A and B are shown apart, each in its own frame.
Chain A
Amino acid sequence: MKRSTSLLIKKIAIYISAIIVFVWTALPLYWMIATAFRPEREIYEGLVIPKQLSLNSILAIFGFGEEYITVGSTITPYMINSTYISIIVMVVSTILGVLGGYALARMRFPGKDILSSLSLFAYVFPTVVIMVPIFYLFSMWKLVNSPTGLILALLSHTLPYTLWMLRGFFQTIPVDIEEAAFIDGCNRIKTIIRIVFPLSTPGIVATATYAFILSWNNVLFPLILISRTDLQVVSIGILNYMKADFVPWDRLMAASFVATLPPTLLFFAIQRYIVAGLTAGAVKR
């Protein structure tokens, strides 16, 4: 009797906690979605629950149904810039990360441990510390207001990550398999292409995807390096909506919703690999 009562109390406590967790997390998200998908006038009526649904705000940020379109008033160029810059950053940091990460995981050479630690240091280190010299040096090197400059700066953030993560993934591949390939007469390059790549594809894809996310989500580098609206990326596009004297709430939330979709969906696709990532050393022992 007593046991069943305490079980019931436990059950009720669990469900109440679950509801609190759900509401705590979902409220701000609900508010974004509710604002992005309702008619603009409803926002100013102070309604918490939308009466009508509308796609007007989403269409408006892409310039549909707008009378005046100037550079920067729609989110389209920002989205295009973010996409291609993040793709280049992803590709470069993955290729260099695979090469470097493999060397750090498998090859024996003096200085290897220092380079490994250095890549973790570099990844964990907050980028604010190099904000000033990046701007100063890139001004001298004529890399301000240039996509190349932004890509290089972003690589300072993504490359240490891909190096460290891929090193970890390569370390999980049993050495025996590679040694067997060596004995069968494969050279280093052949072994990597035929044995290591196929075995670590999920890890490489997840790491590349996260490099894309890191690049898409970055605020600091486009903020200090890009002042031309036509070259700007979506994170600063959102900031420009927020800076207006009268914030266009529906547009801001519609743009936020659109800007958050690519990184968030990608994040959920690779989430279980990321979680295994940084703290892996501690769990695995």
Chain B
Amino acid sequence: MRLKTREALEGYTFSTPAFLLLFLVLFFPFAYVIYISFFSKTFGYEPVFAGLKNYFLIISDPVFKYSLYISTLYTVVAVLFKLLLGLAFAILFAQEFKGRTLVRTVAVIPWGIPLFVVAALFFWFFDYNLGLANAILKALFGVKIFWLGPDWVVPSIIYVNVWKGIPFFMVNFLGALQTIPRSLYEAAEIDGASAWERFRHITIPGIKYVMLIVCLLSTIWTFGEFDTIFFLTRGGPGYLTHIVPIYIYHQAFSNFNVGTAAAASVISVPIFLALISVILWALRR
């Protein structure tokens, strides 16, 4: 009994510094954002209690509705492409061929590059007059497009996100693929299973849980991603790429409307909580 108490005491001693700090810089701010979302507050002025007014303001704001829509579209399409291409890349690198190590190393680089550099990179890559993207289009098809203009900006930011995000999927899938015993494939081949059947009934079940976790993590991070879009478009042109994080930023730092920005932050929390709970569940089982 004494030993148990002692161990508990040790446990608290060891973990208190970390969680005390986290309380100060994370849990308290998190509670505070909920609190302040019930106040009308502009930087420099005293907050005035407003009840649910901020929430009604936001829900009736067409820009916020559009933000939710474009964030969801951006996230779903980007994660889908990352899943498919990440899986394709992983299957490619599971094969043996000359130069595999080199190509695989290059394919992983986007993961290692900071998002702000990825943004700068594509800002230049997509430049209308001098960018490489248009130089290639011009050479191949004789056309140039405004990559970050109204018509193409949404596909372009998705392209950037997919380019950056594939290696995370690929590397995790590759690791999972290697845990599938070769003998399963050999047995299936002897039984006359086609390549598609082997993929469907051996590969997919073998990497199912990794797929689930990777997709959920990526969904959360894509939905919460701020850096590349802020650097590339600032949410523009117009409101076209006004994803939820950009909306929150503009409410707080352009319109100086802390209350509505806080309400917008709080509204997006349940989405994240639900996704994270599924991850926790998947990691536990």
Number of interface residues of B (CB under 8 A): 101
B122 at the interface (CB under 8 A from A): yes
A68 at the interface (CB under 8 A from B): no
A207 at the interface (CB under 8 A from B): no
A160 at the interface (CB under 8 A from B): yes
A91 at the interface (CB under 8 A from B): no
Task: Please state if A282 and B265 are interface contacts (CB–CB under 8 Å).
Answer: no
- Provide the residues of chain A in CB contact with B221, threshold 8 Å: 126
A267 at the interface (CB under 8 A from B): yes
Number of interface residues of A (CB under 8 A): 95
B157 at the interface (CB under 8 A from A): no
- Provide the residues of chain A in CB contact with B24, threshold 8 Å: 152
A186 at the interface (CB under 8 A from B): no
Task: Please state if A32 and B36 are interface contacts (CB–CB under 8 Å).
Answer: no
- Provide the residues of chain B in CB contact with A104, threshold 8 Å: 15
A132 at the interface (CB under 8 A from B): yes
Binding site secondary structure of chain B = helix
A124-B279, A220-B226, A282-B282 given; name 15 further pairs at CB < 8 Å.
A25-B106, A28-B122, A28-B132, A32-B121, A43-B130, A99-B15, A100-B19, A131-B252, A139-B43, A159-B18, A216-B114, A235-B227, A253-B121, A256-B117, A282-B283
Interface residues of B (CB under 8 A from A): 4, 7-12, 14-15, 17-19, 21-22, 24-30, 32-33, 36, 43, 88-89, 92, 95, 97, 99-100, 103, 105-117, 119-125, 127, 129-132, 135-136, 163, 171-172, 175-176, 179, 209-210, 212-214, 217, 220-221, 223-227, 230-231, 244-245, 248-249, 252-253, 258, 261-262, 265, 268-269, 272, 276, 279-280, 282-285
Can you show 22 pairs from A to B with CB atoms below 8 A apart?
A: A17-B88, A24-B163, A25-B107, A28-B121, A28-B122, A28-B132, A35-B124, A100-B15, A104-B15, A108-B8, A115-B19, A129-B265, A132-B265, A133-B30, A136-B258, A152-B24, A219-B115, A224-B253, A238-B119, A253-B124, A264-B114, A282-B283
